[in-house]
Amino acid sequence: MFKWNKEIWEAVRDRVDRLPHAVLIQGPEGVGKLALAEKLASRLLCESPTEISDPCGHCEGCRWVASGSHPDLRRVEPDALSDAVASAEEPEREARGARRAKPSLEIRVDQIRQLSDFLYLGSHRGRRRVAIVHPAESMNVNAANALLKGLEEPPAGAMFLLVSHHPARLLPTIRSRCVVVPVARPEEAAALAWLESVGGETRQMRRWLAFAGGSPRLAHEYASGERGVRMTPYLDAVIQGRPEDLPEATDRESLESLAEVLQKHAIDRVAFALAGRSVYGTVGKDAKASRATPLAWARLARYLGTARALARHPVNPRLFSAEMIAEIQNSDY
């Protein structure tokens, strides 16, 4: 768990024995919600809590949670996020020349059905059975309806921990059956201190923290992973006010990166025109005012938001990216 969530954890910890069967931990991406859920799971399954009701960290329950092997804890997430995607069969597949289908970005109904079977079993340690669903909004319609049934008639001793970046995308009936734990972005100083502590260079960390909307975990992902590498040429082009330098995308991942950069830039253009500031750091203080109206940029931001969603589907990356780039170039810098 991260230092900036200490007060939130203490508030949850103090009522851990009075929590209902479902908790919704919600907030922006990259602020430590999953780590908070994992600490709560550790506390629920701890066999020797401390005097202040923290997980002890030493009992079998805590050690199993830390190693990801506790028999009473199940984590449900899209295959694309799961460490289990690279299965033991992969070397054999490659030897046969077989192509593995791209992992799903959704939580499917069969995953929720398997979770239901798990929760209805008796506890291995005589305590609770805990399910972490992350990110909860990635459930497809059938999966969400299946989870709702479990929330309406929860098995004895079951605890649902839902983690969501976009709670508005959840069914209202799911949200209404959960106690909500909101997690906000930390102060910039705290976020930068953490980013520097994990090896970040201050100037670059400021850039990525701004682009991440103030979410430190997301900023670290940009700065240290392939996602940031893919975004850099797009980000450099819009920051320098040179949309003609935007390269076309060649695959789904770069297409998603392009759509994210362009949408955030359009939002920044609206903010710059109306308030003289940038939300995501893609428009500098000395940037020239666009001749396009804020309304035109707002419409473009909405279009690019739709494009970000479509970029996850089977589309031609080159053609689709060319269309998005043309929209930006036609916005009249």
Mean per-residue pLDDT over the chain, rounded? 89
216: preceding bond cis by omega (within 30 degrees):
no
Give the list of residues 6+ apart from residue 169 with CB closer than 8 angstroms, or none: 137
Please report the beta strands in 106-186, taking only residues with DSSP state E, as ranges in sequence order: 129-133, 158-164, 179-182
Mean pLDDT (whole number) for 56-67: 93
**pLDDT value at residue 87:** 42
- The pLDDT tens digits for 291-301 are 789 999 999 99
Q: Backbone dihedral region of 171: left (phi > 0), alpha (psi from -120 to 50 degrees) or beta?
A: beta
**pLDDT value at residue 314:** 85
| 84 pLDDT above the threshold of 70 | no
Mean pLDDT (whole number) for 16-39: 95
**pLDDT value at residue 101:** 63
| 259 pLDDT above the threshold of 70 | yes
| 243 pLDDT above the threshold of 80 | yes
Mean pLDDT (whole number) for 33-57: 94
Mean pLDDT (whole number) for 12-39: 95
- Which pTM was predicted? 0.83
The position carrying tokens 């949670």 is 65
Structural Rg of the chain based on CA atoms: 22
Three-state DSSP state, 11: helix
- The pLDDT tens digits for 93-125 are 444 455 556 778 899 999 999 999 999 887 777
**pLDDT value at residue 332:** 60
CB-hemisphere CA count at 13 Å for 259? 23
Give the list of residues 6+ apart from residue 106 with CB closer than 8 angstroms, or none: 78, 138, 139, 140, 143
Beta bridge partner(s), residue 22: 160
- The pLDDT tens digits for 190-233 are 999 999 888 767 788 999 999 999 999 999 999 888 888 999 99
**pLDDT value at residue 292:** 83
- For 1-10, 171-180, 277-286, which range has the lowest pLDDT when averaged over its residues? 277-286
**pLDDT value at residue 94:** 47
Beta bridge partner(s), residue 181: 25
CA distance 235 to 15: 44
Three-state DSSP state, 186: coil
The domain defined by 3-182 folds into: Rossmann fold (3.40.50)
- The pLDDT tens digits for 287-325 are 777 778 999 999 999 999 999 889 888 899 999 999 999
Mean pLDDT (whole number) for 10-35: 95
**Cβ-based neighbour number of residue 206 at 10 Å:** 17
- The answer to whether residues 220 and 200 touch, using CB atoms and an 8 Å cutoff, is yes
- The answer to whether residues 331 and 299 touch, using CB atoms and an 8 Å cutoff, is no
Structural domain boundaries of the chain?
3-182, 225-329
**Cβ-based neighbour number of residue 165 at 10 Å:** 19
Q: What percent of the chain has pLDDT over 70?
A: 93
| 169 pLDDT above the threshold of 50 | yes
Mean pLDDT (whole number) for 183-194: 93
Size of the chain, expressed as the number of residues it contains = 333
**Cβ-based neighbour number of residue 30 at 10 Å:** 22
Q: Report the side by side order of strands in the sheet with 158-164.
A: 73-76, 129-133, 158-164, 22-26, 179-182
CA distance 253 to 142: 27
**pLDDT value at residue 61:** 93
CA distance 273 to 271: 5
| 136 pLDDT above the threshold of 90 | yes
CA distance 142 to 112: 9
